[in-house]
Amino acid sequence: MLAMTLHAARTPLTPESRDTPAPGAGEVLLRVRACAVCRTDLHIVDGDLALPRLPLVPGHEIVGTVEALGTGVSTPHVGERVGVPWLGGSCGHCAYCGAQAENLCDQPTFTGYTRDGGFATHVLADARYCFSLRDLAMDDASAAPLMCAGLIGWRSLKAAGDAPVLGLYGFGAAAHLIAQVAVAQGRTVFALTRPGDLAAQVHARSLGCDWAGGSDETPPWPLDAAILYAPVGALVPRALAHVRKGGRVVCAGIHMSDIPSFPYSLLWQERQLLSVANLTRRDGHEFLDLARKQPLRVSRTTFALTQANDALAQLRSGEVVGAAVLVP
């Protein structure tokens, strides 16, 4: 098998030939058909997140075909197309798992972070954390971004509540999917992009957003809720200033630059500031059921597996519209 491997933070991934692994108990071996490139992958490679293991194969938005089953696995089946998300496993016995909050598990595993991920031709996955993609009318490269951009987007949309007027800060892979869901739900959606990013603003309007402008601009009217997909701490007070009394700001990323101090008046009047962390399998089943019923336009740029460094560089510079996807 071929794997794009990280040996040290802030260094390029290295293509390596490896023996194809055999699945252990409870695992499946997948042939990777597509793996989207997430901003979290960028944070891992750039050293923004502590590295729990090296060498490491990143990638956690995987679509693959099951090639072999480990002992004790009855589903998924050999030959089945499945998706693998960021949350690669949970302990099942801590207080959070017991409260059906496995996204907050005390001993989790994360695909492409604590275990090797999908920037490879093959990957091992916990069978319990593979989502069936049966009856999902999408090609592999379009389905891959659903595994994190879609799932975290869905969890953040639920956290935002009913919010008739919704602001999305950062219009990349997650926002372009969730904007379509929110528009279909009848919400008014405003997209706030990098200042001057006219391509992203045109993209947002093409997907049904009622207004698109820079994150340094004031939306046409107050927001009921805002979701921050951009990992920019300075956007937090900005979003709070644009949310009505009793409104909510949701931080959706796993990493964000420091939030600057801001006056209490921005939070007063029962405004809420909260974050979402990881995902649950319930989130996955809900969102994939929705994607089967509501056609989503997935904007993606494909790269060969060996072009993983190019994909990361384009994501870092803001050149990617929608999602970047590696196709072995």
Measure the CA–CA gap between 272 and 239, rounded to whole angstroms. Answer: 11
Question: Residue 321: its pLDDT value, please?
Answer: 87
Concatenate the DSSP letters of all residues of 27-57 into one string.
EEEEEEEEEEE-HHHHHHHTTSS--SSSSB-
Spans of the chain below 70 pLDDT: none
d(Cα 274, Cα 270) in Å, to the nearest integer? 13
Nearest-angstrom CA–CA distance, 254 and 300? 22
CA gap 5, 120 in Å, rounded? 9
Rounded to whole angstroms, the Cα distance separating 100 from 282 reads: 9
Q: What is the CATH number of domain 2-147+279-327?
A: 3.90.180.10
In this prediction the pTM is 0.94
Give strand pairing partners of 65: 31, 81
Closest CA to 122 of 184, 35, 200: 35
Q: What is the pLDDT of residue 251?
A: 98
Matching CATH number, 151-275, of 3.30.1950.10, 3.40.50.880, 1.10.10.10, 3.40.50.720: 3.40.50.720
> What pLDDT does 80 receive?
98
pLDDT > 90 fraction of the chain, expressed in percent and rounded: 97
Strand ranges inside 216-328, DSSP E: 223-228, 243-251, 272-275, 300-304, 323-327
Distance CA 92, CA 190 (A): 39
Helices (H) and strands (E) in the chain, counts: 9, 17
Q: Where are the domains of the chain?
A: 2-147+279-327, 151-275
Give dist(CA 217, CA 215) in Å, integer. 5
